[in-house]
Chain A
């Protein structure tokens, strides 16, 4: 069965500092992986996704993530945090050609310190 683990329910970084949000997955086959962002009082929107090909994926707002099969990880990074990045971030996994559903992690709330 698929599962997603996000380390840290809350992460705080200073404005201008590196953002690193961790995601590890469990899947019996190479999965498709997603990062979603949720701003306060809004729905989720896609930041980036990995399906096949290049393992370093770039998304919106300067975020990127790297698929590391050997570590079963898909960590989200951004070189320099901005106040507008304060939000909740969800990692998600979907099994190719097998399932109609996405499994979401529990989320990590990112706080940006001035």
Chain B
């Protein structure tokens, strides 16, 4: 049981380039989330999904897109990378809507946009 896995671990992009951050979970969780973490700012929710085919915006969705075609995968797409998107990105999942269930986090992707 690998939990939540993310690839790549590190990436450097040039301004205007695009990329997809991959996230996969093998716990059969319905709920999945994407966060970005900036120093001193905690975690900000970018997008989340409550099941395959359903996604919704979080607090900071601009500049990102997501899709959820399967229960396992929840990729995050950056279309036109900007320096403001330099951050550490975390994917997380939780089993269902029950609020007492914590979220399980992946190890993160450190992205630098130059």
Residues of A within 8 A of B (CB): 9, 32, 34, 36, 41-46, 49, 51, 90, 94-102, 104-107
Contacts and interface: CB of A to CB of B under 8 A. Distances in A.
A51 B100 CA distance: 6
Contacts of B41: 106
Contacts of A105: 42
**Secondary structure class of chain B's binding surface, majority of residues:** loop
Contacts of B43: 44, 90, 104
Contact of B40 (A44, A45, A106): A106
8 shortest A-B CB distances, which residue pairs? A43-B105, A106-B42, A51-B100, A104-B43, A44-B105, A96-B99, A46-B102, A94-B99
A101 B58 contact: yes
A49 B102 contact: yes
25 contacts: A32-B99, A34-B102, A36-B105, A41-B107, A41-B108, A42-B107, A43-B108, A44-B103, A44-B105, A46-B102, A49-B100, A51-B99, A51-B100, A90-B42, A94-B99, A97-B99, A99-B99, A100-B97, A101-B33, A101-B48, A101-B58, A104-B42, A105-B42, A106-B42, A107-B42
